[in-house]
Structure 1
């Protein structure tokens, strides 16, 4: 009988390794569209919520401005989003999807199915995993 290593028994390591594995699954799906996984997260947030401020987007995605700003700049350069300064307060920046950004939603609509197939979980297991990870995240805030 093989004893699992201490590393294998660490929840934090399992979450870290699983996160890297998931990002690896997304990479070949997103590369043909010139997107990275963090850029996809920004697009999904905008697809779900519509135009939003950089501040609110950062809070929603748990990203600081130092991480989010370069992502938005690359998405803007690619023509997927626009950033405009608020007229009432120039410190506020509104992020809006372009037509190209909206069109990507249809183009990438099969991603959830592809991911579910790649991780070999049943639909019930997949939902349980999401629920458990949400509880872990909730406990850290």
Structure 2
């Protein structure tokens, strides 16, 4: 589908809450976990209280991978509504996270209908604010309507 281009940019986000529950395995070894996270975004994405649900898989050496979804209520470039990010990535034994994300097609509402886009971030443990990159675009039919 044709899209209208948008300039790449980003901003930062902060973790407001992180609730992790081990669902299989030992807390100090290989395991599966579920995490519920609340974030606050500034910059290209503005959202005060996102809600995230992630599944994590830890290896014996502390490395691992994750995937999940984040619902954002707020705005992108001054347009307001809601949308869902699908996220996936890895983390190393030291806790550094590398994440990619994309807007889940069809998830945007309000002034964000037709929103698409991709982005990502890398975060060191304990970072107060995490910089992210995000390149949004809009489906032409939705943008024209």
**Fold match (TM-score > 0.5):** no
Which structure has the bigger radius of gyration? 1
Higher relative contact order (CA 8 A, sep 6+): 2
Which structure is higher in strand share? 2
What is the TM-score normalised by the length of structure 1?
0.23
What is the TM-score normalised by the length of structure 2?
0.23
